[in-house]
Structure 1
Amino acid sequence: MRSPLQIHETNDLPIVILGGGFGGLFTALHLRDLHSCPIILIDQSWSFVFKPLLYELLTSEVKLELICPRYDQLLQNSGITFVLGTVQAIDLHQKQVRLNSGLKYSYSHLVVALGSTTSYLGIPGAKEHTRSFRTAYDVFALAQHLRNRLQLAAQTENIEERQAMLTVAIVGAGASGVEIAATLADLLPIWYIPLGGKPEDIRIVILQRGSEILKESTSDRLRETAQLALKARTAPVEVLLESDVKAVHPGAIEFERNGQLERLAAATVIWTTGNATHPVIDSLPIAPENRDKHNRLMVKPTLQLPEFPEVFAAGDCAIDPLNPQPAIAQVAYQQGAAIAHNIKAILSGKAPTPASVNLRGTLMKLGLHESAVEIFDRYEVKGNLGQAIRLATYLELMPTPALNFVKRTGWFTEEVLKQITRV
C-alpha cells in the first residue's frame, strides 16, 4: 500500500472520501477491488463508530471493539489508504481538499460524507451544560458522570439535593431520546441498588417541544409500543410534551409548558435534538437552489452534486429532493454502495445510475436486552427476540471486510445467540 505522501506525489489523482461513517466507510469498502486509481479515506478519528449500538456499549451488552473497530483493522489488505485528519476546506473548483494539518489532496472524484454536527438551537447554556451521545467517548464520559452522581446521592442526606442527583433530563423525544431514556431507566437502578439506593428514587424525564414522541420517525404502532415500554421500565420514564426548553444551567433546566416557566433540578441533562450541517459543508460554493432549508447539499438521484458531477455526497449532509430518506445507518450504507457502483461505472465509461435505497424497517432499543423491531413496516417483534433481531440486522449491514472482522470476533455467536437464549 502506498503512503499518502507517495500518492500525492504521483500523477494518479485518487478518489478521496471525507468521513468514515456509514456512508464514507462503506463507499471505501465497496471500492476496495478498484485498482485503476488510489483511494484515500479521511476521518478525524482512529476508529469507526457503529452509532446505533452505542446504547449496548453503555450497558456492556456488546464489547467496545465491536462498536468501534479501528480503521486500520477494517481496511487491512484492502489497498485503501486511511488518513487521520480534520477537513478544513474543500476547493471544488481546484478539486482539492485541505486538512487542518496543512496536508492537501487533489482528487479525481470526491465523496463527501462528513455527517452533521449538534445544533443547540441558540438556547443559553445548552452547549456548556448538556451531554451528547454520539461517540464512544461520550458514552464513557456519561457513564462515569452518572456513576459519580449515584454515589454522591447515596451519601447525601439532603432530600432535594439527592433528588437532583438522581434526576436525568433528556431533551428531545426522537428515536435517540427515547432509546437513551429507556436504556438508562433499566440501567441506573442496577448501578444504584448496590449502593443502598432505592430504584424508585431515580427520575428519568424527557422534554419534548412537540405534542408527541417519535414524530414522523416511526409508525403509530411502534410509537404506541415505545410509549408502553417507557412506562414499564424499572424506573418509569416521564414524558413532558409541549415543553419548550429556554435555558440550561449547572444542575437545572428551564422550560416553558402551558404558558408557564418551569425549572427542573437535574444533575444530568442529555441533549438528543437539533442537527446542523458540518461547517465545511456550509462554506462550499453551492448555489442556494441546490441546498435545502437545513442547508444540506441537494444531490441528483445518482448522489452527485448538480454543479460538480465529480463530487458525490451521502448521509446526513445530503438530500435527494426527488427521493428523500431518513438520516439513519441503513440508508447511509446503501448510499455508500451506490456511490461506489457509480464511480466504477464512470471510470469504465458508463453512465451512473440512480441510487436505490430499500428500508428494511425500524429498529429501536427500548430497554436492557429489549428492542422493538418493525420489519418492512408490517411485522412488529418486541422484547428479547426483538433485541436479537436488531443485533443480527446490524451485523448484516456490515459488508466484507468489516463483516469478516465482526465474524472473527464471534459477535454473532456470543452476542446475538445469547440474546435469543433469553427469549
Structure 2
Amino acid sequence: MTEVNTLDETLTIPTQLIEAQKLPTLILGGGFTGLFTALHLSHQHYQTPIILIDQSSRFIFKPLLYEFLSGEMKTKYICPRYDTLLHQSGIEFIQDTIQSIDLQQRQVQLASGLHYNYGKLVLSLGSVAAYFDVEGAEEYTLPFRTTEDAVALAKQLRNCLQRATQTPKPQKQALLTVAIVGAGCTGIELAATLADLLPNWYAALGSNVADIRVVVIQQGKEILKGISDSLRQTAQTALRERKVPVEVLLETEAIAVRRNTVVLKRNNQIEQLSAATIIWATGSEIDPLISTLSIPEASHDKQGRLKLTNNLQLLDFPEVFAGGDCTVMEQPLPATAQVAYQQGATIAHNLQALAESHSLLPVEIGLRENLIKLGLDESVADLFDSDRVKGHLRHLIR
C-alpha cells in the first residue's frame, strides 16, 4: 500500500493500482473499433502510452474492398498503412501476431517473443471466416476479407479468362463460371461487381462475354437478410441488369466443395455446379483467441462472443474494453463498420474518463443508412429508412 498526502487527509491507495496506471493501454486489433479508439485517444491527449497491435501493416477499409478488386479507387484510400494513419499521433504501432492474452496477469504475449503488461486493454480482434464443417469449403474456396484475398481472387479470375480463350467450348464453361456461396452483403456486392467487371476483362481478350456466369448460392429464402424490402427489391433488379445477369439460387445448400465443383442440395435433390472459381462469402465466427480467454462461461453468448456492459467493458474485468465482431450487447447490433467505429469513440471516451476519475458513459449507436454496391460505379442506399437513392450519385456518396 502507498500513502498519498493531501491537504485534508492521507489516502491509502493500493500499490497495484498505481503500478497499473503507469502501464500502457494496449489495443489488440487495428480494425474499425481498434483504430478509432486509438485515434480518438490521441485527439483527447490521453496521457497513458498507447500501443496498437495488428498482424497486418495496413488498415483495411472493408466496405471498399470491391473497389480495390475492380481498380475503381486508389489503393491508398482503401488500405492505408498504419504508420501513415498514426503519424505524429503518439501511438506506438507494432506489427505482430497475438499469441495469448492473460487477463488475470494483465499480459499479452506476441508470436515474436515480445510480451506486454497493460493497465487497460481494448479487444478489437474481429472475426474469421466460418466454414460450418462443410466438406472441402476451406480447401477449395476463396475468401474475400482482406486485400490479399482480393489480389488472389483477381489473379485467379484473370488466369481463368486467359485459359478459357485457349480451351475447347465443352471444357471452358467451368473456367467462365464464378460461384459465390452466401447472399449477404458481401456475396451480393461481390456478385454485382464481378458481373460488370469480368465482361470488361474478357472482352479485352476478344472473347464472347455472354459465356460468363456468376452464380450466387443462398441457403435461405431471400438475399440480404436483415435489409429493408425496398432495398432488397432494388438489389434483385440490379443483379438482373448487370452486363451478365447474376443467377441467384435460393433455398439451395452447399453441402460439399470439391476442386472446381460445388455439391448442392436443392429441392431435396443433389446437384453439382462446375465452377473454377468458388468464393466463400457466408458467415463468420469470432477470432480463436477470444475462446482462449479465462472468463466465466456465462460471460460468452452461444456463438462465443464476449458479453459487455453498457459501457463496453467485460463483465468480469472492468479494465478491459471490447467492441466489433467479437462482442455482443444486450440489444444486438449488426456487425458493421458503422457500429464498430462508434464503439471505438465510446471506448476512447470511457478510457479518458477512467484516467480523470470521471463517470463512464453508456454506448449509444446511431444506425445510419445501408449502403450497397451494385456493380461498377453504381450503389444503392436507404436514406432515413424510406427514401432510396441509387446509381452513380449514390456511388459517389458511398
Judge same fold: TM > 0.5, yes or no: yes
Task: Show the counterpart of 1:389.
Answer: 397
Identity of aligned residues (%): 55
SS at match of 2:174: helix
Please state how far the C-alpha of 1:101 moved relative to its aligned partner.
Answer: 1.2
Code of the aligned partner of 2:231: L
Question: Structure 2-normalised TM-score?
Answer: 0.93
Please state how far the C-alpha of 1:293 moved relative to its aligned partner.
Answer: 1.6
State whether structure 2 residue 301 is matched by structure 1 residue 265.
Answer: no
Code of the aligned partner of 1:172: G
Within 2, Cα distance between the matches of 1:104 and 1:34? 25
Deviations for 1:58-91, whole angstroms, at most 9, x for unmatched residues?
A: 1111011111110000000000000111111111
Counterparts of 1:123-134 in structure 2 under 5 Å? 123-134=134-145
SS at match of 1:111: strand
Code of the aligned partner of 2:23: L
SS at match of 2:388: strand
Code of the aligned partner of 1:249: R
State whether structure 2 residue 68 is matched by structure 1 residue 74.
Answer: no
Residue 85 (structure 1) aligned to one of 60, 76, 96: 96
Counterparts of 1:179-190 in structure 2 under 5 Å? 179-190=189-200
Q: Is the 8 A contact 1:27 1:337 kept in 2?
A: yes
Residue 260 (structure 2) aligned to one of 239, 251, 266: 251
Unaligned runs of 5+ in 2: 1-18
Within 2, Cα distance between the matches of 1:316 and 1:10? 28
State whether structure 2 residue 338 is matched by structure 1 residue 330.
Answer: yes
Code of the aligned partner of 1:261: I
Code of the aligned partner of 2:363: A
Distance verdict in 2 for CA 1:388–1:11, change over 3 Å: closer
Compare the two structures and name the one with the higher helix fraction.
1
Deviations for 1:104-154, whole angstroms, at most 9, x for unmatched residues?
A: 111111000000011111011100110011111111111111011001111
Code of the aligned partner of 1:238: E
Deviations for 1:238-282, whole angstroms, at most 9, x for unmatched residues?
A: 000111111111111101000000000000000001211111101
Please list every run of at least 4 consecutive aligned residues from structure 1 whose deviation after the TM superposition is greater than 3 angstroms.
none
Count of paired positions = 379
Within 1, Cα distance between the matches of 2:385 and 2:34? 27
Within 2, Cα distance between the matches of 1:282 and 1:244? 28
Please state how far the C-alpha of 1:378 moved relative to its aligned partner.
Answer: 2.2
SS at match of 1:73: helix
Within 2, Cα distance between the matches of 1:50 and 1:265? 32
State whether structure 2 residue 63 is matched by structure 1 residue 46.
Answer: no
Task: Show the counterpart of 1:61.
Answer: 72
Task: Show the counterpart of 2:212.
Answer: 202
State whether structure 2 residue 357 is matched by structure 1 residue 349.
Answer: yes
Deviations for 1:346-393, whole angstroms, at most 9, x for unmatched residues?
A: 111012110111111100000000000112322210010110111xxx
Q: Is the 8 A contact 2:20 2:119 kept in 1?
A: no
Residue 243 (structure 2) aligned to one of 218, 234, 239: 234
Task: Show the counterpart of 1:296.
Answer: 305
Task: Show the counterpart of 1:155.
Answer: 166
Task: Show the counterpart of 2:295.
Answer: 286
Q: Is the 8 A contact 1:359 1:376 kept in 2?
A: no
Distance verdict in 2 for CA 1:275–1:10, change over 3 Å: closer
SS at match of 1:164: coil
Task: Show the counterpart of 1:366.
Answer: 374
Unaligned runs of 5+ in 1: 1-8, 391-423
Distance verdict in 2 for CA 1:56–1:360, change over 3 Å: same
Within 2, Cα distance between the matches of 1:268 and 1:21? 28
Q: Is the 8 A contact 1:222 1:374 kept in 2?
A: yes
Question: Structure 1-normalised TM-score?
Answer: 0.88
SS at match of 1:150: helix
Q: Is the 8 A contact 1:373 1:389 kept in 2?
A: no
Within 2, Cα distance between the matches of 1:299 and 1:252? 42
